[in-house]
Amino acid sequence: MNFSKKELSIFIEIVFSILFAIFFLPNFYENRLGTYDFNSTIKYIIQIVIFSIIYFSLAYTILEIFIKRKLINDERDVLIDLKSYKLGYILYEISLFSFIGVILSVAIFDSQMYQNNGGLVFMIIVWLLIVSFIKSVYQLYLYRTS
Amino acid sequence: MILKNILREVRQKKKLTQEELGDSVGVSRQTIISIETYRYKPTLELAMKLSMKLNCKIDKLFYFEKD
């Protein structure tokens, strides 16, 4: 299977989503039943930022070494970006309304659980990860089929 | 009606590779491949550029075929 440079860069983003889920999601999953400690969040954010910088620097450097052809962003790329961002936007909208629904139902039916924000933080991160993953996979699908 | 083209035939007659043609009109090789396999319909601007580069009238380069 022959992938173009653009398709490989999208694949790098997909792999990042998967690695993020493997390495960082367990931390948020462990705190999902309790009140989230925002002081320890800074430690996670620093870890995530450092991991992201190292991962993307390495991945794109390797990509540049092996594929020397320059990346052209032409009208087909713009069209595919628009289609994939449209899907991402719709999914974010659905996520937002779902999230508001969950917050309201939790607030109404279980006010004690409302104080335990670990679950809400975990839910937000999972949704964002899923939406980002679906958007990238759809973008890759469009590149392969159009 | 399906929009088709004779881009591949004209390009091969001019002895141009997909990459060379793409570079000359400002698009990637993948875009040229997608146009030649009817998976992507170019904009008017790109179609005109292809027509000018290949020295072939646009209505000869692109045509409609009935289903």
Sign (positive or negative) of CA dihedral A53, A58, A63, A69: positive
pLDDT (0 to 100) of residue A51? 94
Burial status of residue A11 (CB atoms within 10 A of its CB: 0-12, 13-18, 19 or more): middle
Question: Does B4 score more than 60 pLDDT?
Answer: yes
Question: Which positions in chain A touch B29 (Cβ < 8 Å)?
Answer: 4
ipTM higher than threshold 0.90 = no
How do residues A94-122 score in pLDDT, each as one tens digit?
988 988 888 888 777 665 555 567 777 88
Q: What global pTM score does this model have?
A: 0.83
Cα(A84)–Cα(B54) distance, integer angstroms: 32
Cα(B44)–Cα(A106) distance, integer angstroms: 53
Q: Is A76 on the interface with B (CB under 8 A)?
A: yes
Cα(B1)–Cα(B62) distance, integer angstroms: 13
Cα(A111)–Cα(A104) distance, integer angstroms: 10
Q: Do A72 and B22 touch (CB under 8 A)?
A: yes
Question: Which positions in chain B touch A146 (Cβ < 8 Å)?
Answer: 34, 39-40
